[in-house]
Amino acid sequence: MQPVVDRAGISEKTRSIESNGGGIYIGAALHACAEQLARSTQKNRHIVLFADAADSEEPTDYQTFVPELVRAGVTVSVIGLGSDTDSDAELLKEIAKLGNGRIQFVADAADLPRVFAQETIQVARSAMVEQPTAVEVLPALATIGDMPAAFPKLGGYSLAWARPRAELDLRSLDDQKAPLLCHWHVGLGRAAAFLGEADGEFSGELADWPRYADCFGTLVRWLCGGQTPGLFVDAHRDGAFGHIAVEVEDVLAAQLDTARGVMTSPDGRVSDLVFERIGPSRLLARVPLDRDGIYRAALQVAGTTVRVPPLALPYSPEYAPQPDPRAGERVLRRLAGTTGGRLQPTADQVLEGPRRSAGHDDLGVLCALLALGFLLAEIVVRRFGIEVPAVRLPWRRGAVAAAKVEMPATEVVVARRAVEVPKVEPEPAKPAAQEPEDGVLGALSRAQKRTKRR
């Protein structure tokens, strides 16, 4: 345990460590780190266990020891050399989980410095180097354009690592040798990252650098697709119109007289661009976009062909969201004023007046009284045996009349054929049983008769 002051001495001492074979004893390593951290008073106490994902041995009491470290304020992360499918990968994952840390597997040893730095940044919650740093200009910077051969000293920078396909343009001249400016191509697009502070406390000598505007202006033009030095082309859409602007340096203003361009619409039609000079070194073409789709244009200035960024009209501008809700009213007002008319009624007149309704009638009490009346009427009818005449529905009268037609017992019509039915002598009627007039049976008999009459 020591402060990182003598970086070169610490690095030299670390590189003198030799491996004499044998396994990776995880338990011994964790206990040794814990003894060191026990004497530390730092706020962040963290262990990074680096082990082979296929050769990690003797974890000893890690299942009880690592949780004790967490309770004491010490966290544990694991970096495994190999993949998560190796034989000891599950053991390393469990240690990181018990230690409230992270687990990362690295298949290529060349990525280890980046992974260790990322783990350190996540623990310290800071990736900013806050000290003056000299800058080295690398040859790749010249591929962007007319960039300076020297760069001023920075007051600080954000620590990061370059992507595998990135072109390194600027690099710090400290022990980190960290990238400060990188650029690369993504498909047909371009991207760049500057890790210094453009304007602030850690800008250093960059804030007073005379070539500040030239350097970053060239970088932005390169990102926008400018290919010719001193020439910049921009294209954007405003509603149903496309605006193509051409700008050159003042010394090249005379070359704009020979500028010409063409645009291809989504249906394949090719039309010439008509430019208007809006400044000594600027031209502007305003093109109507009459249908949705992709519009592509090309420009030629002084024999050099320049690619213009494409324009896209995804749908008709009338369906585009309007940030100003009164824009339509103003258009109608201008139209009425141009033709000598007036806008009537206005939007305010349409919306003026009270917002209250005309009123309403509560029918709840009336419906309740009607329901109570029907209930009482039903009780009276049932209690006193009042006969209510049956209501014959008009569309049911024919069916009822047809049901009352008596057909001879000897003839039945089926599928338009007459079938002879043998005549059957009726059995003599049995004498009717004497119905009791009094008592419960008599009351039931009378009720049955009333039901038949209905």
Query: Which band of pLDDT confidence, cut at 50, 70 and 90, is reported for residue 446?
Result: confident
Assigned CATH for 7-124: 3.40.50.410
According to DSSP, the β-strands at 260-264 and 293-301 are antiparallel
Q: Pick from 220-224, 354-358, 377-381 the range whose average pLDDT is largest.
A: 377-381
Query: Which band of pLDDT confidence, cut at 50, 70 and 90, is reported for residue 92?
Result: very high
Q: What average pLDDT does range 88-95 have in this prediction?
A: 93
Structure tokens at 402: 């047809």
Is residue 356 predicted with pLDDT exceeding 90?
A: no
pLDDT given for residue 416 in this prediction: 44
Which of the two residues, 233 and 388, has the higher pLDDT score?
233
Q: What average pLDDT does range 344-355 have in this prediction?
A: 72
What distances in angstroms separate CA 82 from CA 28, 79, 127, one per listed residue? 21, 9, 27
Q: Pick from 74-78, 138-142, 174-178, 267-271 the range whose average pLDDT is largest.
A: 74-78
Assigned CATH for 128-223: 3.40.50.880
pLDDT given for residue 407 in this prediction: 47
Residue (of 118, 34, 38, 43) closest to 79 by Cα position = 118
pLDDT digits (tens, 9 = 90+) for 114-127: 888 888 777 766 67
Domain ranges, ordered by start, for the chain: 7-124, 128-223, 231-318
pLDDT given for residue 437 in this prediction: 54
pLDDT digits (tens, 9 = 90+) for 57-83: 888 888 999 999 999 889 999 999 999
3-state secondary structure the chain: CCCCCCHHHHHHHHHCCCCCCCCEEHHHHHHHHHHHHHCCCCCCEEEEEEEECCCEECCCCHHHHHHHHHHCCEEEEEEEECCCCCCCHHHHHHHHHHCCCCEEEECCHHHHHHHHHHHHHHHHCCCEECCCECEEECHHHHHCCCCCCCCCCECCEECCCCCCCCEEEEEECCCCCCEEEEEEEECCEEEEEECECCCCCCCHHHHHCCCHHHHHHHHHHHHCCCCCCCEEEEEEEECCEEEEEEEECHHHHHHHHHCEEEEECCCCCEEECCEEEEECCEEEEEEECCCCEEEEEEEEECCEEEECCCEEECCCHHHCCCCCCCHHHHHHHHHHHHCCCCCCCCHHHHHCCCCCCCCCCCCHHHHHHHHHHHHHHHHHHHHHCCCCCCCCCHHHHHHHHHHCCCCCCCEEEECCEEEECCCCCCCCCCCCCCCCCCHHHHHHHHHHHHHHHC
Is residue 442 predicted with pLDDT exceeding 90?
A: no
Instruction: Examine domains 7-124 and 231-318 and report if their fold is the same.
Output: no
Is residue 154 predicted with pLDDT exceeding 70?
A: yes
pLDDT digits (tens, 9 = 90+) for 260-310: 888 888 888 888 999 988 888 889 999 988 888 888 888 888 777 777 878
The matching CATH number, chosen from 3.40.50.20, 2.60.40.1930, 3.40.47.10, 1.10.1030.10, for 231-318 is 2.60.40.1930
Residue (of 181, 55, 51, 184) closest to 106 by Cα position = 51
pLDDT given for residue 408 in this prediction: 47
Q: Pick from 38-52, 313-327, 361-375 the range whose average pLDDT is largest.
A: 361-375
Query: Are residues 296 and 264 in contact, defined by beta-carbon separation less than 8 angstroms?
Result: yes
Q: What average pLDDT does range 41-47 have in this prediction?
A: 82
CA distance 56 to 50: 10
Least trusted range by pLDDT, from 96-110, 174-188, 341-355, 390-404: 390-404
pLDDT digits (tens, 9 = 90+) for 207-244: 889 988 888 888 887 887 655 667 778 888 888 889 99
Q: What average pLDDT does range 322-351 have in this prediction?
A: 80
Is residue 413 predicted with pLDDT exceeding 50?
A: no
Q: What average pLDDT does range 104-113 have in this prediction?
A: 88
Q: Pick from 44-53, 232-241, 290-299, 430-439 the range whose average pLDDT is largest.
A: 44-53
Structure tokens at 93: 């994952």
Q: Is the pTM of this model over 0.85?
A: no
Query: Which band of pLDDT confidence, cut at 50, 70 and 90, is reported for residue 131?
Result: confident
Is residue 186 predicted with pLDDT exceeding 50?
A: yes
Residue (of 231, 56, 84, 64) closest to 145 by Cα position = 231
Is residue 412 predicted with pLDDT exceeding 80?
A: no
Q: What percent of the chain has pLDDT over 70?
A: 81
Query: Which band of pLDDT confidence, cut at 50, 70 and 90, is reported for residue 3?
Result: confident
pLDDT given for residue 358 in this prediction: 66
Query: Which band of pLDDT confidence, cut at 50, 70 and 90, is reported for residue 402?
Result: very low
Is residue 149 predicted with pLDDT exceeding 90?
A: no
pLDDT given for residue 417 in this prediction: 44
Query: Are residues 308 and 244 in contact, defined by beta-carbon separation less than 8 angstroms?
Result: yes
